[in-house]
Each structure stands twice: as structure tokens, then as C-alpha cells.
Amino acid sequence: MNQYNPLQKYYRQPKLYISLPSKGLYYAQGGLTGDWSNVPVFAMTGMDEIIYKTPDALYSGEATKQVIESCIPYIKDGFAVPSIDIDALVLAIRIATFGENLNVDKICEHCEAENTYEIPLTRILDYFNAQKYDNILPINDEITVKIRPLTYFELNHYSIENFKLQKKMAQLEQVSEEERQKIVDEIYKNLSDLQVDLFLTSIESVRIPDSEITDKAIIHDWLINSDRELFAQVKTKLEQNRDVWNVPSQNVQCGSCQQHSKVEITLDQSIFFG
């Protein structure tokens, strides 16, 4: 039996409430508790800040997973969150912990003056909530592909695997010419396999005139035995969705020359919460 803690009434309380850009879709059963349109967000604890200073936890995604679970009690598994909600959740946690504005330093591209811009993060949250995930891809008159956003675990997995392959490619100068070609062939094969696996994970179903296919083995055989145009269509669709769900650049005006430019907001947690 839990003993009553007289300090319990002083525990942290929600600092803001947000709507999820996913509208609560793409969560596994039980993965989201409560109303998706009114999600409470708590500020980070001291332990949450410590985990963001742990390189291994940042690299593996474990830091973001744990902080989401700590600050968003409606979410029970941070790795299962649809990727289209991740940036909004990170932004909301940042707002709850440090306030609504983020200072960004930038040297003006027109006059080279140094500026510090105050970016309202709520504006970026509003941007995400205005988006709708486009999950339908017509291939031709007979075939329609239904896709879904990756989970945070899947997104992190593919990012790490791609990073490993790119790093391996960058190290080729250290090997002999004969060995280099062998490694290049292996890397390109692995990159191709990784892309097929990414497509397969992203595809929820394939509808044809007489049925809807959800069997991953059947879809895999179809992917690897189709013309390159199919790959191009799927790749383009996934890239279009990715671009829509990236943090948008922000318009700013130089205080010296009054010229307008754009700044990019990085959600690199080691910097964003630093």
C-alpha cells in the first residue's frame, strides 16, 4: 500500500495543452490515453535534462522516448509515437520547460551583421496542427497504395542505419582500390535493401480492383519485381510528406540592413534543450 506523500500537492502540473497533429491516428491500441485534442504537457524534470546530456541516449533515441513519456502522460511508449507528432511534442515540452520563445543567432547574409532573433515556438506548433498527413498514393487506374507515417522507433532506426552506411562510405579513402570497390558495392546493396525495407514499412496496404493486400511478403515481392517508375512514385510521395512535416524555416528581418531572410530551427535535442 502506497504511503501518502504530503508533498504530492506540490508535484509539477501541466504547463500547456496541445492538439496532436496526427489527430490521434496511427497510434496502436492503448498507445494514447485521453483526448488527442487536449493533451497535457509537463515541464521536464531534472532527470529529464540529465538524459539529454547523455550521448548514447541521444543517439539511440532513448532520451527523446523517455522525456516524452515523462512530460506527456497520455503517451505510454515514446518509441511508438507516429513521427508526424514527434516535432510538435518536442516543441511543446520545450515551451513547457523554458517558455514560448527561442533565441536564434544568425549572421545576416546581406550585410553580415550579427542578429539574435526571438522565434515564437507556438507559431510552429500552429503550423503542424494545420497539416494533414496524405496517406493515399494512386499508382495507376488499378493500383492505389495506402501509406502511414513511421513510428519514432522506425524513424530513428532508419536514420541510424543510413548514418552508418554514409560513415562507412566516408572512410573509403583509408582502404586499397581493390578493397574500396568491394565495399562500395556492398554499401550500395545495403542502401538499396534499406530503401526497400523503408518502403515496405511505410506501406500499409495496396488496393487492386478485387481486393486489398496487407500481407508484407506479397507487397515485398511486388516492390522488387516492379518497374523503376513505381519506386520513383513511392519515393517521391514519402519525400513530399517528409518535407511537409519538417520544421518550417522562419522569416526574419535584419536589425541593421532591414533585409529579410530565413532561419532554420534545429530540434537537435542536445542543442534545443541546452
Q: Provide the residue ranges of all domains of the chain, joining segments of one domain with +.
A: 13-131+250-272, 136-244
SS3 92: helix
Residue 118: its pLDDT value, please?
95
- pLDDT tens digits, one per residue of 9-26: 778 899 999 999 999 999
Residue 1's pLDDT band (boundaries 50, 70, 90)?
low
Distance CA 263, CA 266 (A): 10
Beta strands per DSSP E along the chain: 16-18, 39-41, 101-107, 114-120, 136-138, 144-147, 203-208, 211-213, 250-253, 260-263
- pLDDT tens digits, one per residue of 37-69: 999 999 999 999 999 888 899 889 999 999 999
pTM: 0.89
Q: Which amino acid is at 106?
A: K
Contact 121, 102 (CB under 8 A): yes
Contact 118, 102 (CB under 8 A): yes
Contact 207, 146 (CB under 8 A): yes
Distance CA 173, CA 62 (A): 33
**% of residues, the chain, pLDDT over 70:** 97
Contact 201, 154 (CB under 8 A): yes
What mean pLDDT do residues 175-196 have? 87
Phi and psi angles of residue 117, each rounded to the nearest 5 degrees, phi first: -105, 140
Residue 3's pLDDT band (boundaries 50, 70, 90)?
confident
- pLDDT tens digits, one per residue of 232-271: 999 999 999 999 999 999 999 999 999 999 999 887 665 5
What mean pLDDT do residues 119-131 have? 95
The 10 Å Cβ neighbour count of residue 44 is 20
- pLDDT tens digits, one per residue of 79-110: 999 999 999 999 999 999 999 999 999 999 99
What mean pLDDT do residues 178-192 have? 87
List Cα–Cα distances, 107 to 74, 117, 216, 261, in angstroms. 40, 11, 49, 10
Phi and psi angles of residue 258, each rounded to the nearest 5 degrees, phi first: 70, 10
Distance CA 116, CA 102 (A): 10
What is the chain's mean pLDDT, rounded?
92
pLDDT at 160 over 70: yes
Residue 11: its pLDDT value, please?
84
Residue 269: its pLDDT value, please?
64
Distance CA 118, CA 144 (A): 44
Residue 183's pLDDT band (boundaries 50, 70, 90)?
confident
